[in-house]
Structures are given as structure tokens and as C-alpha cells.
Homo-oligomer: A and B are copies of this chain.
Amino acid sequence: MRAEIIAVGSEMLTPDRVDTNSLFITERLNEIGVEVIAKTIAADDREVLAGLLRLALTRADVIVFTGGLGPTADDVTREAVAETLGVPLDEDPATIERLEQRFARRGLKMPVINRRQALVLRGAEVIANDKGTAPGVLFEREGRLIALLPGPPREMKPMFEGLVRRRLARFAGGVGVFRRVLKTTGRPESQIEEVVQPIYARWASAPTPIETTILATPGQIELHLAVRAEDAERARVVLDAATDEIAAALGPTLFARDNRRLEEIVGELLRERALWIATAESCTGGLLASRLTDVPGSSDYVERGVVCYSDRAKTELLGVPEEMIREHGAVSEPVGLAMARGIRERARTDLGVGISGIAGPAGGTPAKPVGTVVVALAWAGGGRVRTLWFPGDREQVKFHASQAALDMVRRHLIDA
């Protein structure tokens, strides 16, 4: 069974925009055994969309549009599809009601132009959008399924994960490709590669072969595994065994067996052990605290954080001695450790984290170049501190540093 994805939006045809929706949709389609033969980013232009749909109808079983369902005049996906299929658009009363309620909750009256978003292909299945205004639409014709989904990922994804995937799976009914993402941090790609390559080679010729890809992102290396299987249960067994093998080879470098983020893993460990944490950040400027508190329920283990950007704040908020800063510099192991100890004592938490570094672009010296970061952890009766160097621009250094701090907490909690 073959699919085409058509992402609509002139703004995505500019030189600096990447379409990420189609990656997500491709993964989900692969899982239910649907192969993607082409994906197009198309302008908000009726003729362009009509041409693509006509072509797709000649060769694809599933055609997924995303985007171009907004309320404004430049959003033409609905009209282009309706015209090409020769199907009228009707106003969906349930959608009108949902939209009116949505605006009412914010104390607003629904603007007239938003009524356009309630127009759906006659005979189509309407999928409510819990995160936004435009509903999704599924339309079946002559053995082909056409889906119209909103463009914003935060609206499209939950819709897809819910009803759309189930409907498509029923429609497709075949052998699926199942994937798993394992994550590591703290070691370079080449080292990870050396460890996993012999395992990968064995997997390629196994009875149920596993396809593998390594994806390096700043501060994190992901191992993507994929198997073809008739059902999720069979795939799960194979992928579990493969994950165990990788975990044994990589040890604590592997932090997630299931695509979870490092802050989620750390949060779970803190929750399991009923520990409280507090953070003292300089160069990361609050990013560590922000990542920790991105996780729902983090108020159960994050007590507080301070961003001590000035030296005065380090002294006032954390009790770091002025003469220590003068003698060693704000970016030094003694100061990093004093920050971790200072926040732990003042917040009366189990753990305290300290980060101090030079995020750049200015502020580097030959001895402490841009990218130098001190990461420290304090606990009852102990502490550790490391000086690291990270490549990249300011935001990358900040991310790397927050990642190293989270990983230091994780390793401490699992005694690694």
C-alpha cells in the first residue's frame, strides 16, 4: 500500500524552513505497513494542489494533506481538494459549535472568517481538533483514503496518534515497520559506532533483520532500530532483545531505551527515590531548570533554582565567597562546587547542581576558551565536579552544558 504526503504552505518553500510533519507521518505510516512514495511541499495555490492531488490519485492509496486549513483567504487546501474531487463543501455544525466554545472560553466571540474552518467535504469523517481550530477530515473514494490535517504539529500529531492512525491501520491492514529509538549521551559518535557496529552487522543477517541508523544531534546520539513484522507484539519481542544487547554493550552511556528525553529519565529517578533537587545556573541561564520543569509533575522534585548571572548574585544567593571568585574565576571547579553546595544548603534539598561556564561568543580566554563549562553536583556528605568543553554557538553550549548536568545527576542516582 502506497502513500503520498502533501504539506501545504508557501512559507515552507522559503530557504530556511523545514517540513517536520512529513517525517512524523512517514514513521506512523511505515508502522502500519504503508510505504511513502513521494512527499511534496506545495504552495498555497489551488492549481498547484489540484495538480498534485490528480497525480496522487493515479498512484497512491493514501493521500495525506497537512496545512492550508487556516481561516484566512490564503488557505486553500479545502477548496482545492473539493474542486478536484468534485465534492461540495458543507458547514459542519459540530465544528461550528466547538469553535464558538473555544473562543468563548477565552472571552472572545468567534470571528466570522473562522466559519470557513468548519467547511468539510460532503460525506467525509470529521475529526475534532482538541488543540486548535481546523478539524481533520478523512474522505474515502474508490478504495483511496484522503486525509486533510491541520499544519501545526501540535494539532496534527495528537489527531494522528488518535483517530487517524487507527482508521488508516484498518484501511491498510498489512506488515508494518516498527521502530525504536535508543539514546546515549557523553560519548562521541565514533566511539558509539565502534561499539555497536559488530552488533549491527550480526542483526542485518538475523532471521528477523533489524535495520539500524545512527543519528548524532548536539549532546545526544540516537540509535534508530527498525524491524518488519506482522504485529506489534512480535516486533516488541525482537526490539526488546536488541535493546538489551545494546544496553549491555554501552552500559550507562545508554540513558533511554524508548525515546524519552534525558529530563524525563532524571525526573523519574528523582521521583522513584523521593529526592528533591535545586539548581544554581550561570551560563545556562535557567535552561537546566526549564528542562527539568518541562516534565509534568516536576513540582514533586524540583524545589527551586537560581540563575546567578552576576558574581554578586553568586555570593548573595549561594554564599560563594567573593575571594574564591577573585582567586579562581567564576568559571572554576571550586566556584562550581560552591554553587552546587550553596543551593543545596539554602534550598535544603537532597541534591544541588551548579553550572558555570562561558557560552560565548565573547568572554573566552586562551586558558578558558568559549565553550568551557564547569558542572558540579552536591549531595549529603559528598560532591563531584567536572570541567568540560563543548563546541558550537551560544545556544548549543547552553544545551550541551544542561545535558552534561542532567547526565551527572542521572549517573549519581544509578551509581554509574
Contacts and interface: CB of A to CB of B under 8 A. Distances in A.
Interface of A: 10-11, 13-18, 23-24, 26-27, 30, 35-45, 47-48, 51-52, 54-55, 58-59, 70-74, 105-106, 108, 111, 113-114, 131, 152, 154, 179, 188-191, 193-194, 197, 212-218, 224, 279, 281, 284-290, 292-294, 296-299, 302-310, 312-313, 316-317, 346-347, 359-363, 389, 391-396, 398
B74 A47 contact: no
Contacts of A73: 197
A14 B40 contact: no
Contact of A38 (B41, B74, B190): B41
Contacts of A304: 306-310, 313, 317
B313 A309 contact: no
Interface of A is mostly: mixed
16 contacts: A14-B213, A16-B213, A36-B43, A37-B45, A38-B42, A40-B40, A70-B189, A70-B216, A71-B193, A72-B214, A73-B197, A74-B212, A111-B191, A131-B391, A152-B216, A152-B217
Contacts of A305: 285-286, 306-307, 309
A355 to B, nearest CB: 12
Contacts of A299: 309-310, 363
Contacts of A37: 13, 42-43, 45, 48
A262 to B, nearest CB: 15
A339 B242 CA distance: 51
A38 B15 contact: no
